[in-house]
Structures are given as C-alpha cells and as structure tokens.
A and B are shown apart, each in its own frame.
Chain A
Amino acid sequence: MRTTVVHERPVRSGVSLPGRLAASEGASQLIAIAVLICIWWGFSRWGGINPFLLPAPETVWQRLAQQFASGQLLSDLLATIYSALAGFALSVVLGVPLGLAIARNRVANWFFTPIVSVGFPAPKLAFLPIFLLWFGVGVSSKIVMVTFAAFFIVVSSTAAGASFVPRPLLWSARSLGASERAILWQVVLPSSLPQILNGLQIALPVCLITTIAAEMYVGGAGIGGTMLSASRFADTPGVFAGLLASGALGALLVHLAAAVRVRILHWHAETRSGN
C-alpha cells in the first residue's frame, strides 16, 4: 500500500500545550508573569546589569505608554494583525481544498504528496527575497510570505484528517444514497474538522512569527519594522516594548483560536468530554 508522507507525522505536537497542560493555566500564568516582572525589577534595582542590556520595567512601560499615546502602538499592531490574518485566511482558503483533494483524489495525491513533503520542512522565510522580487517591497509581499509559510501546515493536517475518515461512516452515507458532494460536505469535512483545526492552530502562531520576521526584513509599518529600527539605534527599551507587544498579541491570538475551536466543535466528543 502506498503511504502518504503527510501521515507520517500526526499534527499534534504544537497543540499539546494548550491541550494537556491547560488544566493549571490561567491563574498560574498570571502568577508567572508577576514573578518574572518582580525578578526583572529586582535585577534592574540591583544595578549589576548594564541598563543598556536590561532596561528597567518602568522604562519599558513608559515607552509602551508613549507609543500608545502617539498612536504608533495601535497602528503597528493593526498592520501586523492585518498581514498575519490576511496570510492566514489565504492559506486556509487555498490549503483546505488542496488537502481534501490529496486525501480524496488519487491523481492529486500522487502529484502533490512529494511537493508537500519537500515544502513542509522547508524554512519558508528563505523565499522572502524572491517574493520581494516578484511582488515588490510592500504589504503584498508580506502577505504572500505568510500565506506560503502557513500553507503546507494547513494542507498536511487537512489531508491527514480527511484520509482517516472512519470507513463505516462513508459506507453508511453511501448506502443511504448520499451523493459524493454531500459526502464531502456532510461526512468528510465534519469528521476531519478536529485535525484541520489542529493544523490551523499551529499555522496561526506561525503566521505571526513570519509576519514579524518579514516586517523586520522589509521594514515599513508593523511591530517588526519598529523593533528593527529600535535595534538599529541600539534602543533596548524600544526592543523590549516590541517584544512585550508581540508576546501579548501572540497570547491573544492563541487563546482566541482555542476559544473558536471549542465554539466550532461544540458538537464533537472532544469538547463534550471536557478535554
């Protein structure tokens, strides 16, 4: 039997953290943040570390407040969110149908499986200068870059999910006279949804990582661009401010995605068993 490469690796590693470790999250994370800030503050008070290398928390806080007041923080956040989500949406729109095709169609499987198996582990950021050549220095290159980075994750998790639809489900649908179209929409898609969402939950942070990296390379609006110019001027408070802003944005997106998953899968055993 011919095995599809995309099955070799069950797409779950990245989601195991919000899954298994979730029980003690929430409160303990707030405590962790508080403890880390205290340690940070302690170090800056102690004065043993050059404040150029480790600025005091209040300095960074002032920088954030100043960026917020001038409106720069908001416009940076919006620019980053726009590129990340536009790329994410495109990768879903293109990747889910291709993943379904790989799982359900022999020719698509034959043609795309080797391409996905080469594309999946490739460090996609290496293509950024190529996209700049093709799409110019601007937001469209960034969006193409983000789409490309997330695409293979979406495709392989969709293909993996749609290949393992329980046979009895398909048999029952067929014997009840469902058309191939109806089977795709009402059996294959819902049954592979948890796997597809696993892929999307891995792809979303990848989109943010890629957006920030692309902004650093291309420049322009966005958290990455601002961080890059801060580091060019050796402005450590600016770099720390960007780090905090991007961390908060990442946490927001990850938690939002987890909440959306529960919403979408409210009918699924996974949600009901409270996993």
Chain B
Amino acid sequence: MSRADPIAGGYLLRALEYLPLAILALAWEALVRSGLVSPSVLPPFSEVVIEFFRLAGNGVIFEHAAISLRRVVAGLGLAIVFGVGAGLLMASSRPVRVVLNPVLGLLYPLPKSALVPLFMLLLGLGDASKILLIFIGCLLPIVTNAFNGARGVDEKLMWSAANLGADRFELFRVRFNAALPDILTGCRTGVAFAFILLINAELIFGQDGLGYLIASTGGLGAYPTMFAVVLLVVALGFVADRLFGLIERQTLRWRTTA
C-alpha cells in the first residue's frame, strides 16, 4: 500500500492528491479578479488569506479558537468517557440495556439544535451550555458504536480468556479491546458532531468563540474576516478528523485486517 510510503516520492504523491483544493482556490481568485463576481459578495481568496495572517498576527483569532477548542475537548471528552462506559455496560448488563435503550431511542430523532435555546436559558451564555450541548449530541454515536462493538465480540475470544483463568476485570479488558475499532469509529463521528454543535451554539448565542466571531464579523460586513474564520473552522474540523483517523490507525495496528 502506498498509504504510509516513507520515501519522498510518496509524500509528493500525497501532496498532489490535494491539488484539486488549490485549483478550487485559484478558481475562486479568478472568479473575483475577472469581475464575474463582485468582491463585496465574495472577497478574493488572496485577501482572505492576508486577513487570516493579520488576525493570526494580533492573536485575536487564536483567542477565540482556544475558547472554542476548550468547549469541544470538554464536551467530547465527557461524551467519550460516559458514552463508552454506558455502551459497554449496556452490552454486558441486561437491566442497564432495558433502561438506557429506550432513552437513547428517544434522544436519537430529537434535533439537537432545538436544545440550544433550552440550555441557554438553563445554563446561560457561557461555557456550560455549550459543553452540555456537545456532550449530549456526541453521546449517541459513541454509545451505539461501543454497544454494537461490544455485542459483536466473538464469544470464542471470551471463552478462551475465561478458560485461561481471566478474572472479571481481565474479561472486561478483552471485550474492550475487541470492541475498540467500533468505539473509535463512534468517537470519530463524535468529533464531527462536536464541531457542528459548537458552531451552532456559538452562532446563535455566543459571546466568544469562532462561531461568534463569524456571526459578529458577518453582521458588521467585515466579509474578508468572516471568510477567514470560516476557512479556519473548516481546517480545524479537517485536522481534528484526520487526527482521530491517525489515532485509529495507530491504536489498531495490531489488527491484521485494519
């Protein structure tokens, strides 16, 4: 597989794979520079990039990014801890399953964005309401994947472990490791959900954070700034997703079929 090819040619090929994005950026620039699209509606790409570096230079954008990332890490972290725990418990205990299953079933079709005004009223405009929203929103994919993974564990593995004298804790570890691929899939879906809900909450009731920055600069008509922040948000989502993909691959290196 060429995927992890360490030679320089491999990296060049990997970089070339992203060439279409550069083409897209050039097309954007050409569209505005040729006068086909007014720069008041679409600031040229170069101007957006310059604006990004100006914002990065005075640190404003990083302040807001740090606030946003803190919320994502807190909400997602809580969702992973409680979600994986709940999913594994549901798989091994029938009473837990009977109680949690219908509750999760009710949570599934609820549009999570409808929770934004409620949490805002209950917890205010600060971090707490956003963290709770991200927590609730990410919980579902994480729980269901952990549950499905733990249920799908080959029982022969468990029998062998028990036969070799594994105690309860060791049996749990076997089940956890066997369910790990599914758990990580759930966490990766959770990452995407976390960013969606973060932007959702910050756009609508924000005082700070990247979502707020987009809404406030857009409201002021500072469009190059707004586009720069939107591109940063897209980049952050992409990097976070790739990072989880990397963790997934590193963690699952022992699997022959990864």
Q: Mark B157-176, 1 if CB is under 8 A from A, else 0.
A: 00000000000000000000
CB-defined contacts of A236 to chain B, threshold 8 Å: 118, 121
What distance in Å separates the Cβ of B216 from its nearest Cβ neighbour in chain A?
A: 10
Check A110–B102 contact: CB distance below 8 A: no
Interface string of A115-145 (1 = CB under 8 A from B): 1011111111111111011100000000000
Contact in complex: A128, B104 (CB < 8 Å): no
B8 neighbours in A (Cβ, 8 Å): none
* Total interface residues in chain A, CB < 8 Å: 74
Residue among B17, B151, B191 having the largest count of chain A Cβ atoms under 10 Å: B17
Contact of B186 among A13, A32, A121 (CB under 8 A): A13
Contact between B106 and A36 (Cβ–Cβ < 8 Å)?
Answer: yes
Name the residue of chain A whose CB is nearest to the CB of B198. A123
Contact B144 A21 (CB under 8 A): yes
Instruction: Tell me which of B103, B145, B226 contacts A13 (CB under 8 A).
Output: B145
Which residues of chain B come closer than 8 Å to A120, judged between CB atoms? 192, 241
Would B121 and A21 count as touching, CB distance under 8 A? Answer: no
The chain A residue sitting closest to B217, CB to CB, is A129
Query: Which 6 pairs, one residue from A and one from B, show the smallest C-beta to C-beta distance?
Result: A32-B102, A129-B218, A231-B117, A250-B109, A121-B241, A213-B113
- Residues in chain B within 8 A of chain A (CB atoms): 1-3, 17-21, 23-24, 41, 98, 101-106, 108-118, 120-122, 140-141, 144-145, 147-148, 151, 185-186, 188-189, 191-192, 195-196, 198-200, 203-204, 210-211, 214-215, 218-219, 223, 226-227, 229-230, 233-234, 237-238, 240-241, 245
Q: Which A residues are closer than 8 A to B by beta carbons?
A: 1-3, 8-10, 13-14, 16-18, 20-21, 24-25, 28-29, 31-33, 36, 53, 110-115, 117-130, 132-134, 205, 208-213, 216-217, 223-224, 227-228, 230-231, 234, 236, 239-240, 242-243, 246-247, 249-251, 253-255
